[in-house]
Amino acid sequence: MKTKQELRSAYRQLRKKLSSEQVKQKSKEICRQVETWLTENPNLDHFHLFFPIDRFNEVNTFYIKEVLENKEKAIYTSQVLKEELGMETLKLPKDAAFFLDEWGIPVPQESIMVSPNKLQVVFVPLLAYDQNGNRVGFGKGYYDAFLATLSPEVIKVGLSFFEPESQIIPEEHDVRLTMCITPEKVLFF
């Protein structure tokens, strides 16, 4: 079984091999899966999105943002607090404009800092995940710390271009996913 560090390295390499056209196509396929899932869950209104770091070939969640806006859902994102291991929750205005911060993370030019207590769904970035909903992120721990502060009822949705690993050994602070959406399917844990 691979360690988290080995999985990080392996999945960074897998992502690097994807062309920008493949990332775009697979992101659109994931968005279609999200849209179908949303149709089946019309009671969900408050969604937290991460936005992609292009150089890491992350899932392009701007397609999901557009779907959520068209369905008139409330959209939130987070900004990392530099002084501590934490993130502040930001509510996005419709058609928000973005700039890239020093890490290459798209950040809204306008937003309102809010409490995360209205969140019903959090889309979670990841490099790898397993058949039990354990995930491997980039190793900084920001999302696990953020997810740990939320109500257990919040749906934690991973987005991945790839199939799950059979098993990842979680650490004590890790927060499991509720589900993961790939270009081909929606997996529930």
Look up the CATH number of the domain holding residue 77.
3.40.50.10420
- Residue 124 within a domain: no
pLDDT at residue 14 is higher than 80 = yes
Both structure tokens of 20:
């920008």
In angstroms, what CA-CA distances link 91 with 47, 57, 98, 110? 10, 25, 13, 9
CA dist 22 and 27 (Å) reads: 8
Number of domains in the chain: 1
Give residue-wise pLDDT tens across range 78-113: 987 766 667 899 999 988 899 998 888 898 999 999
- Residue 13 within a domain: yes
pLDDT at residue 58 is higher than 70 = yes
Domain containing 38 equals 4-117+129-188
pLDDT at residue 20 is higher than 90 = yes
- Residue 123 within a domain: no
Question: Mean of the pLDDT values across residues 176-181?
Answer: 98
| Mean pLDDT, the chain, integer | 94
Q: Which long-range contacts (CB under 8 A, 24 or more apart) does 63-72 make?
A: 63/27, 63/28, 63/30, 63/31, 64/30, 64/31, 64/34, 64/123, 65/92, 67/31, 67/34, 67/35, 67/38, 68/38, 69/94, 69/95, 71/38
101 vs 23 pLDDT, higher one? 23
Provide the pLDDT for residue 105.
87
- Residue 122 within a domain: no
